Structure 1
Amino acid sequence: VRALQGSVWKKNPLSVLFGLHGKMGVTSVTCHGGYVYSTGRDGCYRQLRLQARQLEVLRKQRPCKGLQWIEELRFTPSGDLLVLGFHADSFVVWSTRTGENLHCVPCGGGHRSWSYSSSSSAEAFAYIKQGDVMLYCSAPEPCEQQVLLASLHGREITCVRRLGAVRAPGHPAVNVFVTGSEDTTACVLTLSERSRTALPLTTLDDHISSVRALALALAGPATPSDASLSTLLFSGGGRAQIECYRLLLTGDPASESTVACEVVHVASHRLDEHWDRMKNRHKLVKMDPETRYMSLSVVPGTDAEQLPTPCKFLAAACSDGSVRVFGLLEAARKLVLVAESFHHQRCVLKVEAFLHVPQALVCAGAATDGSVAFWDITAPITEAPVFPALGAPLLTVMAHSCGVNSLHVREMPEGRYLVASGSDDGSIHVCRLEVAPGDGAAGLRVLERLSRPCAHAAHVTGVRVLRPDLVLSASVDQRLTLWQLGPGGLEALSTTFFHVPDLAELDCWEAAAEPGGEPHYYCVLCGQGLELVRCAARATRPEPPPPEAPQ
């Protein structure tokens, strides 16, 4: 008491977060590594940080399904995070690193006094049951099961995006990727070309259904010499759900992957929740809460200072036949539905948004009937109206005879664009477009169309325009093909076979050119697995040698 005399005590707390774990309450608070962790009886634990003397929630995590009562977190010296809680009538110790139950002790459930202690030599769990003190002890036993290769996901990988390259001091730069899966999670990982290993950095588990699409909005350029990288990550999938995160990647020499990842959950959106907040909804057709987001694309250039409301906008291809545009209010942590169009009247598989200088924003959507439609979305974004329809598209191109599984748009000089698409019938279609400003809206004109029927023996699920004269395609037939794009059409340059079955998607980037060497590209492919492929690309196909002169 004497030691406290003269000290000033504040009557009110510095920061209060009401209802953080719902009406069931908070069970524990732990400080570790500069962060604050809280657990509750809602089956989740949250990561917080102290920012300007205020608590800020970074993310919410659910360790496993069925663990509805979390009591405590334990951080082990080996870097594992143990979640202690109750599942039905059993006490559970869950490892977040291995994703398995380390202990499951039938004790009758929660609402009892208990204590757990672990060391390298023994583990003990004591609890009170019907007035008796019960003790459970175990000695560590050698594990007979050896994990040859740890899995990244429990089911098929549906989408992949490269975040960039991060270099820790004294270490080579490593590529960081994010993958989405049918197991309802997205995983941020490093994939090293030298060690040929994939190391997970963190898992995002806010989705209640499969993660079908990913989109990135980088805060700045990423080069192999960068020590840090900040990006916005959008993920979409089943149950009409979109999640948005801000990822901060920094070089960490002490980590096994040499990269540290900080995740901040920014916003989320679900159509059923949006419908519940709408006025005069009895006059509208009810939104389908089972809609799937098949593809996402960040609208470029919408955070420019010259726009009335600088923020990020996102285009989404939806299974209910619509193309929707969302706006991210990052300060308010909200995703707002801005506009939509039901022009396709069938499942929209792919969407791509691009910017035409000075300020013409165009969105392309591809559907299961083989058509690719283009909308001018400048007015809905710059004027910020309240949920209007996009109206009729500027242009519709029948590119294929069936569903379009891959779509990519590349800007060319003089206001022209190359639009490449791949279809279920194995064909590839490339059209050259010209954007011409009109009266209050942009206009589109097709300058040239090239098609390659039977380019692959199965669905073309990945296509990229690498250069104005070079196109890359990947298919379920497990072939990765480089095509020379010329006036005569598409001519195959080279073909590489990869090992990932049921290819779902690919992402590509150009590698730094070596002095005197040929330009080359990296491709990451996902499906029933993940694979990194390097492919070289000459400027043109080598010409055959001239015939020898007759003797």
Structure 2
Amino acid sequence: HDHILNPITALEFYQSPDGPLLLLAGEGSFLKIFEAENSKLLGQCKVFDGQAIHGIIAAKNAQDDDVHILIWGGSFLTLLRTHDFEQILAQSLTRIAVAAAEASDWILDAALSPLVPGCCFLITAHNTVVRATLDKTSSFIEFETVASPSRSILYSAHILAEPSGEILVAAGTVFGEIIIWSCSSSGTTQVLFTFTGHEGSIFGVNISPPLTLACKRRGRLLASCSDDRTIRVWDLTTDSPTRTVNDQVGLVRETGFGPNSDDQAQSENRCIATVMAHASRIWRVKFLVDQGCLSPSLVSLLSFGEDSSTQQWSLNIDSCTASNPKADHTSETLRLMHVSTFAFHSGKHIWSTALHYCNPLAAILATGGADGKISSRAVSLLEEESSRASCHDELGPSYGISSPGNTDVQCNSWDLEEDILKHLSLIPSVDESIIKGLDSEAIEIKKPKKIVKDAFNKYDFISENQLLLTTTFGRVLLSKIGVSHQWEELELPKTAEYDLKSYSVVQGIPECGLAYIAGANGKIYCYVGGAILLEAGNVNGKVADMFKIFNPATKGFELLVTTLGTGMATLFSIGSTATGLIHLFATFTLPPKFMVTIAGRIDDLLVLGSRTGSLAVLDREDRAVLHGVGRGMTSTQDAITTIIPLPHQASENSMASYFLTTGRDGVYSIFAIDKSDNGAIRCVHVGSLPFGPIVEAAWLDGAELLLYGFKGKNFIVWNETKQLEVMSVECGGAHRSYAYSPLRKSSGGHFAYSKASKLYIYSQQAPSHTIVKRSGHGREIKACAVSPNGEYVATGAEDTAIRIWSYDDDGKPLEHRLHCHAIMQNHSAGIQHLQWHGLNYLFSSGGNEEFFLWSIERIPGFGLGVVCEAACPDQSADRDLRIMSLDVSDVDGDNLLVSLAYSDSTMRTYTYSKQNRFCLVAKGIYTSSCLTQIRHLRVSPKEVHIITAATDGNISLWRIDLSPPKTICGSSPSEFTFLGTRKIHQNTIKSLDFVKYTDAFLVVTGGDDNALGVSIYSINQLPSEAAVTKPLSYILRSAHAAAITGLCIVPIDEVSPSMDIVKIVSSSNDQRIKEWHVQLSTSTAGDLSIVNIQNPSDEFTSVADIGDVVFLRARNNHVHESQEQKVLIVGNGMEIWKLPGCSR
């Protein structure tokens, strides 16, 4: 084993006695230990053989020789003492699977005994409490059955071991019932409650700590979640007498049949709150309660769903009549109120959670998802955002950090006239001056008019913490954001008395502490500090907009001003930041109907973006338009909102300059300006974002790319480099005035926006959460492919995304990383096949007849650029087919030969070039069976031999005639010539790979029948005309215990100089990865045959539902003496394995 990126199935915080706070994570069968302060991976250890970790419990106050960590998975259990844990941290112990013990049943939950060191209690899938005790001398774990009220089949359970020795169990059954029962260490059992009401299986139960309820009563609550998408809260106060188990009750619990009128009445009495929660299934619920002595207690609930979101709910138990035994329990008395939603994972499922209380009212919540990500954030019992800051102040020092969730959030709002103008020494506004000069008689004659109130108009930040605003009456205000907000009204020049009334344009330059304001008459005013605005310049006409442009030559800024109805743009240089005076540099004539929405400078060129999504490149010296880029090339038909240059790399000798744009279509793009082609532009990257479609701005903070925009009613700040949501504010949507100021030191920001005539300023000092571990795909990976030089790996999954990775295996094993360089989301259905061609092309196919060709190149200062260059040319009207497989080869110069296999048993072969695009060369049909694989066996200038595999278990050989060359569109396509078929498997062929070996092709197949097939096609026997050709075939039955879903042949030059052994690696749904050695022999006549097939290695992989396996080549396309051969397995996760005995 070399590296793993799998779903996180268990999490637990562990406070070491003399060390930092640690986060323990179960990833597959491995325990990983992270330092919570800096997310550093400190150690990892394999805990089980053939089993994933499902739960981790850490002791709170254990002694040195006691059990500190309890780990279980399936029916296996491991107990770790301090010495074992310290060895794992020191990485002197990397495997403890031999210490695992197997219980008699699947373990659902566990609890350490507070009375007996080295002892714990387990609750199993059949509602049985089992005691497990670790022998100090032999380290052997002994199991003893304690009690079981009924042998119900459980989906969930929660067990508590009380200091009194009593065991309390909440059991959620398959039949939708919840059984609350207790037992003593001697085995005496009491069923306390049986709750019904859920309309589906119980997926999660959680018993609260003892709470102070209304009337100063002490008791517990139970939270449950179900397949019916609801959360229910139950009262567990035990004022009524308990009852013992009888035969009838046991019958009901074990079978789900029997009378339930008593249970229904009891459930109605005890259910105190119900809410329809997630739109998906809910997997877990967890109480968040105050750890102090508040009376009554503050209670929140956290729910974790299949939709990869966490939701927080508040429960006000102040009026909890359910805690009063004399109350009339006829209906629910409380409401679960939604507080917030955290969506920090991709794809589906949050599988694991952990809470660490930093103070009585706040905790750190860690979540682990199916995407392999671990995220953490602060959660508080205080619902108000403004109140949460006090929790974070306490949270940081107690947690020892300032990052995970320490957001220091503040949100303040102001009404202009009521909250600001009343407290300022106001300068008379234009409207007030007019009213004073009016004839009083005229006022009496006219009907009373509605009093017009001043309102916020436009605003922008002039520094990180200063906001400049204009009002509809022409006032200009300055807000200083701090612990207490300060307001000041600025004085305008006398000539601006009417200029800013009702219309204004504001452009701040926070880097210089400047702001420019323009009104209706063309004058431009500047604020450089103090209390007065200065007149800085003017243009002819009404100002439409102003744009700041950074000049890298002078390290200063320029100001581009456009005017309404003139088709002109004026460029000013800013002379001095002390005075703010601007000087006319040039005037440009814009293309027809080109409304500028953004401007940027790339070297000596001026690049403008328009409202319709087009770009214009202007020469600053010649003042002429060099190039116009239409909407087709920019891939957007909406306004372009950002143009920023990418930094030049001193080590890169590039003939192009690069710049990044954003638009209101949910993507960002990178363009290259070719210096050798008079500034010609080409698009080199299009990136999709998880928010939008309105993307308003982007900027670079060091090497990190950040963007902000809107998703529905929320304002989102997103770190694209880290794939991290920095901020999310529910502001009402994009149709309002707003401004954002990033805080570069703390990675937070200030967001100012208007809502219901009020100004809101939302301040957040740090990102909303921390990523402890980076993520992968959120759904099952179906296909992967390795670039020819072995540097990049492309993966495609059921989440419809394609990711391009590189694997860094330099350094120590803990430092190995899979780095994601690009994410492509053009597909709308699951990916079926991926294939590289050279280093610059990647092909992908999937459902809905989707087939894309991706152009890939390196971008200096950014990474990988990916653009969808072409798509499937011949889609049907219904688009109801899947393109199951494809293959690509070079043919006839710059043309590519592309063959596609469809789910309706048809095949198509195209030629492709940038100039002629796709041209159909040949088409054919197999039978009614779905084709699963297609490969170019041999390609020559005159013909192509193709092999296909299908769901009927057959491999078939085909021929396409390429003479004369069919690279010009318009000629009639030829038909596939059938050359023969061979039955290899009983049913579907799931995987296929082949290699050329001397004068033959070795074709290896894996089937749904668990068999491994090897077929040999002699090159000399491949016919040029229609003829029946059957290969020499070998079949190895029961090679795996389930379908073989992935195969790869280790390249011949990587195996052995003797050239008589072919290495094959197979993977299967039985979660085994096997290596096969096929020994070959060549007869005197030149015929190739198989002498022997051996299975030297067979290992368990924690990747479930394996989709594919590929061989990782070395980056220089061959393996050095010191390097190792590795394979990548993908499915529900990714795992990299070293091939045994591979170093030469």
Normalising to structure 2: TM-score of the pair?
0.40
Q: CA deviation at 1:504?
A: 0.7
| Residue identity matched to 2:672 | R
Cα gap change, 1:148 to 1:204, in 2 (>3 Å): same
Q: Offset at 1:441? A: 3.6
Equivalent residue of 1:15, what SS?
Answer: strand
Structure 2 residue aligned with 1:221: none
RMSD between aligned residues:
3.2
Partner of 2:732: 108
Q: Is 1:475–2:1068 an aligned residue pair? A: yes
Q: 2:937 aligns with which of 354, 375, 379?
A: 354
Match of 2:962, SS state, is: helix
Matched, 1:526 2:1104: no
Query: After the TM superposition, which of the residue ranges 28-37 and 231-240 deviates more from structure 2?
Result: 28-37
Instruction: Verify: 1:261 aligned to 2:864, yes or no.
Output: yes
Q: Which residue of 1 aligns with 2:947?
A: 364
Per the alignment, residue 37 of structure 1 pairs with 660
- Pick one of 443, 453, 463 that aligns with 2:1037: 453
AA aligned opposite 1:182? E
Aligned match of 1:154: 778
Displacement of 1:358 after TM fit? 6.7
Match of 2:684 in 1: 58
Cα distance between partner residues in 1 of 2:926 and 2:1031: 24
Instruction: Tell which structure's C-alpha radius of gyration is larger.
Output: 2
Does the CA-based 8 Å contact 1:241-1:270 persist in structure 2?
Answer: no
Match in the other structure for 2:504:
none
Alignment partner, residue 373 of structure 1: 956
Could you tell me which of 629, 635, 638 is aligned with 1:16? 629
Structure 1 residue 366, shift from structure 2 partner: 0.6
Partner of 1:136: 761
Match of 2:906 among 309, 317, 322: 322
Looking at structure 2, the residues matched to 149 and 101 of structure 1 have their Cα atoms a distance apart, in angstroms, of 14
Instruction: Describe the superposition over 1:135-161 as per-residue Cα deviations: whole angstroms up to 9, x where unpaired.
Output: 323232586x65443211111111111
Which residue number corresponds to residue 1009 of structure 2? Answer: 425
Tell me which residue corresponds to 1:180: 796
Work out the CA distance in 2 between the residues paired with 1:81 and 1:188: 18
SS in 2 for 1:425: coil
Task: Report the Cα distance in structure 2 between the residues aligned to 1:424 and 1:381, rounded to whole angstroms.
Answer: 41
How many residues of Structure 1 are paired with residues of Structure 2 in the alignment?
Answer: 486
Q: Hey, what does 2:642 align to over in structure 1?
A: 28
Contact 2:941 2:962 in 1 (8 A): no
Q: 1:9 to 1:406 in 2, by over 3 A?
A: same
Are 1:68 and 2:68 an aligned pair? no
**Amino acid of the residue matched to residue 58 of structure 1?**
V
Q: 2:712–2:733: 8 Å Cα contact kept in structure 1?
A: yes
Give the structure 1 partner of residue 980 of structure 2.
Answer: 395
Give 2:845's aligned residue.
236
Distance 1:412 1:84, change over 3 A: same
Residue segments in structure 2 that go unaligned for 5+ positions in a row = 1-582, 588-619, 648-656, 1053-1059, 1081-1089
Give the CA deviation at 1:491.
Answer: 3.1
Q: Find the aligned partners of 2:690 and 2:682 in 1 and give their Cα distance.
A: 24
Q: In 1, are the aligned partners of 2:713 and 2:734 still within 8 Å (CA)? A: yes
How do 1:204-215 and structure 2 match up within 5 A?
204-215=824-835
Distance 1:471 1:450, change over 3 A: farther
Once the two structures are TM-superposed, the CA of residue 369 in structure 1 deviates from its matched residue by: 0.7
Deviation at 1:440, TM superposition (A): 5.6
The equivalent of 1:172 in structure 2 is none
The separation in 2 between residues aligned to 1:392 and 1:469, in whole angstroms, is 33
CA shift digits 1:383-415 (9 cap, x unpaired): 34646353342111111110001111211223x
SS of the aligned residue for 1:24 comes to: coil
Residue among 988, 991, 1004 paired with 1:406: 991
> Corresponding residue for 2:535?
none
2:529 is matched with which residue?
none
Note the C-alpha offset of 1:311: 0.6
- Please give the residue correspondences for 1:459-498 in structure 2 after superposition, counting only pairs within 5 Å: 459-466=1043-1050, 467=1052, 469-472=1061-1064, 473-477=1066-1070, 478-486=1072-1080, 487-498=1090-1101
The Cα offsets for residues 488-547 of structure 1, whole Å up to 9 and x where unpaired, read as 4533333333332221111125665565x9x963211111111222214689xxxxxxxx
Q: Distance in 2 between matches of 1:138 and 1:8?
A: 43
Aligned CA distance change for structure 1 residues 436 and 443 (closer, same or farther; 3 Å): farther
Structure-1 separation of matches of 2:784 and 2:867:
20
In structure 2, the CA distance between the partners of 1:25 and 1:367, relative to structure 1 (3 Å rule), is same
SS, match of residue 1134 in structure 2? strand
The verdict on how the C-alpha distance between 1:391 and 1:326 changes in structure 2, with shifts beyond 3 A counting, is: closer
Q: Following TM superposition, by how much is the alpha carbon of 1:371 offset from its aligned partner in structure 2, in angstroms?
A: 0.9
Residue number in structure 1 paired with 2:355: none
Query: Whose helix fraction is larger, Structure 1's or Structure 2's?
Result: 2
Per the TM alignment, residue 419 of structure 1 is displaced from its structure 2 partner at its CA by 1.3
What is the TM-score with the length of structure 1 in the denominator? 0.79
Q: CA deviation at 1:474?
A: 2.3
1:423-456: CA deviation from partner (whole Å, max 9, x where unpaired): 0111111111124488864767435221111111
1:349–1:537 Cα change, 3 Å: farther
Give the Å deviation of 1:471.
Answer: 4.0
- Residues 99-108 or 175-184, more deviating: 99-108
1:111 is displaced (CA, Å) by 3.7
Quick one: structure 1 residues 537 and 395, their matched pair in 2 at CA, closer, same or farther if it must change by over 3 Å?
A: farther
SS where residue 973 of structure 2 aligns?
Answer: coil
The percent identity for this pair of structures is: 22
Contact 2:907 2:925 in 1 (8 A): yes
Aligned to 2:1103: 500
C-alpha distance after superposition, 1:188-214 (max 9, x if no partner): 111123432211112122222222211
The amino acid across from 1:525 in the alignment is: I
Determine the structure 1 residue equivalent to 2:194. none
User: Could you say what secondary structure the match of 2:1076 adopts?
Assistant: strand
C-alpha spacing 1:352/1:438, structure 2 compared with 1 (3 Å):
closer
| Structure 1, unaligned runs of 5 or more | 167-174, 219-229, 276-286, 540-551
Q: Say if 2:1076 and 2:1093, in contact at 8 Å, map to a contact too.
A: no
Distance (Å, rounded) in 1 between the aligned partners of 2:883 and 2:987: 19
CA contact (8 A) 2:586 2:623 kept: no
